[in-house]
Amino acid sequence: MNNLKLAWRNLWRNRRRTLITSASIFFAVFFALFMRSLQLGSYDHMYKNAIESYTGYIQVQHKDFWEEKIVDNTFPYDRQLEQRILADANVTATIPRFESFALASNGPQTKGVMVMGVDPEKEEHLSKVTDKMVKYKLSAASIELIKQDSNLPEKIKELAPLFENSTYTTASRLQLDLGISDKDAGQWMPAIEQYSRFDNGHIEMGEPGVWVGEKLSSYLKLGIGDTIVLISQGYHATTAAGKYEIKGIVKLPLPDIDNKIVYLPLDICQGLYNAEGNLTSLALAVKDNKDRAIAGTVERIGGLVSGEKRVMEWREMNDVMVSQMDADDKGGQIMLGILYLVIAFGIFGTVLMLTAERKREFGVLVAIGMQKKKLSSVITLEMLLIGMLGLLAGVIVATILILYGVNHPLIFKGEMALMFEEYGMEPQFAFWTIDIYYISQILIVLAMVLLAIVYPLRKIFTMKVVNALRA
């Protein structure tokens, strides 16, 4: 009878207890992995949104711009420097920008806005603004068309008015709000897409025209073809003022930026601020965005820039968000700690009962000739098997759900979506794929089990056989 066989048989002598203990480990592992995946996935999603919609991973800026974002802290667009930066192995494109603030108005409505002068073509390497253009809108007219379409089911007609004036960058999001399953999408969506289509125009270098954020456009009650007036302070305290036709509406995933962004062609923006040829930043698109690669690139680019310029990486530029995420991360880890503490007590309770119940049996085994070392290895195997049962089940179930979640993020709609947006977050739960956090969670559970084993092992090694036989 080998140790493993004996341990396995012992495991099932109190089936209910084994199952309860394994189940508690299963839930601990499952929730730990699932929640961690959700947490890391959400951070990654928010970081990506912030980086890809706004800052990029690396920027070259005027050395004082980050502390004082005024147009005087700009630097000349140096094409030679740009070429040297482009020669770096990790840099795939440079994206010149001119960023400032202005007061925007339409009739009686006024709002402070962020003005972003961009080269629309180059911006495709980083923020891909055209992907974020509003493509569908459930306007009153489009809802009316949906209602009149006799081929569409009543359910869609009832749901559509609830989302009046909602805008969408993809048809799948529109489909989700209207409660149309993937199976029915082929039948109903073409007509709905046609009724709700929203056509944007382009902005091009040298041609006045703007794209505005969807939330900003709603606030200022602006639509395509309307005019927005911008007024600000230009380079060296000159007056900056201009009026521009709205060419398109963009819907950025970060609501805080979406409600204040105005995109202008770079040269038009430079003209508005009387800072022709100057940039506030040269953002870099990178091949490898892992932390180590970014740090290396920052160091190399830092060696290329001199004098008035500095290189910043995404963490510095999104420091508030990074701090918030770090705080949230710590909170999550404390919750996990509490979860593990509860489970640890559960495991220890099982070990305590197991040891007390089998004291006499341990005595008998040692009396008839089983070495304490061998008995200890059987008990260790028993506990490891209980742990592994829960651990494996937890890992398998969590992995299935996480892998599904990675490809199918949880997207909230309706009131829930609004609530998320009020907190400045995209109404979406993304999952982080299987990664190093799996190992840490597995090691924690194993450590708990191993720690719990110390108790029966100590009891066995200090056991007096004659006393154990009297138990």
β-pairing, 58-62 vs 281-286, is antiparallel
Give the residue among 57, 132, 48 at the shortest CA–CA distance from 432. 48
Residue 398 CB, nearest approach to other proteins (Å): 32
How many residues are present in the chain?
Answer: 471
Half-sphere exposure of residue 460: CA atoms within 13 angstroms, side-chain side: 26
In the complex with other proteins, which residue's Cβ is closer, 14 or 218? 14
Contact 433, 402 (CB under 8 A): yes
Does residue 466 belong to the site contacting other proteins (CB under 8 A)?
yes
How far apart (Å, rounded) are the C-alpha atoms in residues 53 and 55? 7
Which of the ranges 4-12, 78-86, 156-164, 450-458 carries the binding residues for other proteins, by CB under 8 A? 4-12
**Cβ distance to other proteins smaller for residue 5 or 202:** 5
Residue 336 CB, shortest distance to other proteins, in Å, is 36
Does 1 engage in binding with other proteins (CB under 8 A)?
A: yes
| Of the candidates 203, 200, 210, 206, the residue with the CA atom closest to the CA atom of residue 102 | 210
* Amino acid occupying residue 127: S
Q: For residue 164, which phi and psi values (nearest 5 degrees)?
A: -55, 135
Query: Judged by CB under 8 A, does residue 13 bind other proteins?
Result: yes
Shortest spacing between CB 380 and other proteins, in angstroms: 17
Using the Cα atoms of residue 200, residue 267, residue 255 and residue 297 in order, give the sign of their dihedral: positive
For residues 14 and 399, which CB has a smaller minimum distance to other proteins in the complex?
14
Residues 6+ apart with CB under 8 A from 310: 60, 61, 62, 63, 66, 302
- Contact yes or no for 442/26 (Cβ under 8 A): no
Quick check: 108 binds other proteins (CB under 8 A)? no
Number of residues that bind other proteins (CB under 8 A): 22
Nearer to other proteins, 16 or 183 (CB): 16
CA atoms of 127 and 281, how far apart (whole Å): 14
- Residue numbers 315-374 binding other proteins by CB under 8 A: 360-361, 364-374
| Shortest Å, Cβ 8 to other proteins | 9
- What's the closest the beta carbon of residue 16 comes to other proteins, in angstroms? 16
Task: Report the distance separating Cα 379 and Cα 362, nearest Å.
Answer: 10
- Rounded CA separation 232/267 (Å): 17
Q: Rule CB under 8 A: is residue 15 a binding residue for other proteins? A: no
Nearer to other proteins, 9 or 221 (CB): 9
CB of 395 to other proteins, least distance (A): 28
Query: What pairs with residue 232 in β-bridges?
Result: 240
Distance separating alpha carbons of residues 399 and 231, to the nearest angstrom: 53
Residue 373-392 contact track with other proteins, rule CB under 8 A, x = bound: xx------------------
Residue 16 or 292: the one with the smaller Cβ distance to other proteins is 16
> Least distance in Å: CB of 370 to other proteins?
6
Q: Which stretch binds other proteins (CB under 8 A): 10-18, 191-199, 344-352, 424-432?
A: 10-18
Nearest to other proteins of 2, 306 (CB atom): 2
Is 10 one of the binding residues for other proteins (CB under 8 A)?
yes
Look up residue 209 and give its two tokens: 């025209």
Residues that bind other proteins (CB under 8 A): 1, 6, 9-10, 12-13, 360-361, 364-374, 465-466, 469
